[in-house]
């Protein structure tokens, strides 16, 4: 499924302001590339075909790389509207099942890096998440966050908003938040969840 080269992030969902204002995707993290590849989203497009994860929407993207440049797995590539020096174009969005085994194996590594870079966005989720149903809270959809941690998080954030992952760990006791969030995002990307907290469709 192809999308415009400069697609924007849609605003809002059932989980409030996590996704924030409308914005352009600016960076993507490379999980696979083929030097002499053929696009799976644009007919007859050939060249350096790159599979990557967008940093804002956390969706799988197919990119066309500049043949004069070198690329590395795990590289954070600029794909913004102006001033690209390695990426020629964003060809479209990919489905998880279209990825190779090696690309799928790189997803958790790339996601954890994104979670670290975008720490404030994910901390904001812990500050703002609300109940989804009378019995299930948005916080409980994060792996490892049960009702005890959920109640502690709500109590603490009412006293003072969390400022970092370390702040949450210190005040609530939950550990390895980056890995827990990464696990949730990987599940969303692979289609294992009924609803998405972080990945934009």
State the CATH number of the domain containing residue 159: 1.10.150.280
Structural domain contains residue 86:
no
Structural domain contains residue 3:
no
pLDDT of residue 136: 93
DSSP 115-148: HHHTHHHHHHHHHH--BSSSS-BGGGGSTT--HH
Structural domain contains residue 2:
no
72 CA to centre of own chain: 19
Max alpha carbon distance in the chain (Å)?
Answer: 57
Closest CA to 67 of 33, 29, 110, 25: 33
Helices (H) then strands (E): counts for the chain: 5, 5
Instruction: Using the structure block, give the residue that is written with the tokens 């400022």.
Output: 163
Is the pLDDT score of 6 beyond 90?
no
Closest CA to 52 of 116, 115, 107: 107
Structural domain contains residue 36:
no
Closest CA to 162 of 177, 147, 140: 177
For residue 142, the enclosing domain spans 119-189
pLDDT category, 163, cuts 50, 70, 90?
very high
Q: How confident is the model over 107-115, as a mean pLDDT?
A: 98
Structural domain contains residue 172:
yes
Number of folded domains that form the chain: 1
Q: How confident is the model over 100-127, as a mean pLDDT?
A: 97
Structural domain contains residue 173:
yes
Structural domain contains residue 161:
yes
CA distance 15 to 198: 9
Structural domain contains residue 75:
no
Instruction: Using the structure block, give the residue that is written with the tokens 């020629």.
Output: 88
Contact 80, 24 (CB under 8 A): yes
């Amino acid at each position: 499924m192809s999308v415009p080269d400069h697609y924007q992030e849609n605003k809002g969902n059932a989980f409030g302001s996590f996704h924030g204002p409308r914005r352009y995707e600016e960076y993507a993290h490379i999980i696979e590339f083929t030097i002499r590849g053929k696009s799976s989203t644009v007919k007859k497009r050939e060249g350096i075909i790159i599979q990557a994860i967008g940093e804002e929407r956390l969706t799988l993207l197919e990119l066309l790389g500049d043949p004069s440049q070198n690329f590395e797995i795990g590289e954070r590539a600029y794909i913004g509207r102006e001033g690209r020096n390695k990426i020629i174009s964003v060809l479209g969005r990919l489905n998880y099942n279209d990825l190779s085994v090696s690309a799928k194996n790189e997803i958790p590594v790339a996601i954890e890096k994104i979670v670290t870079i975008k720490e404030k966005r994910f901390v904001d989720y812990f500050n703002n998440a609300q109940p989804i149903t009378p019995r299930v809270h948005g916080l409980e959809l994060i792996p490892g966050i049960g009702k005890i941690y959920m109640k502690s998080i709500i109590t603490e954030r009412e006293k003072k908003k969390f400022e970092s992952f370390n702040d949450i760990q210190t005040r609530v006791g939950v550990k390895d938040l980056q890995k827990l969030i990464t696990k949730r995002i990987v599940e969303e990307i692979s289609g294992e969840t009924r609803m998405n907290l972080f990945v934009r469709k």
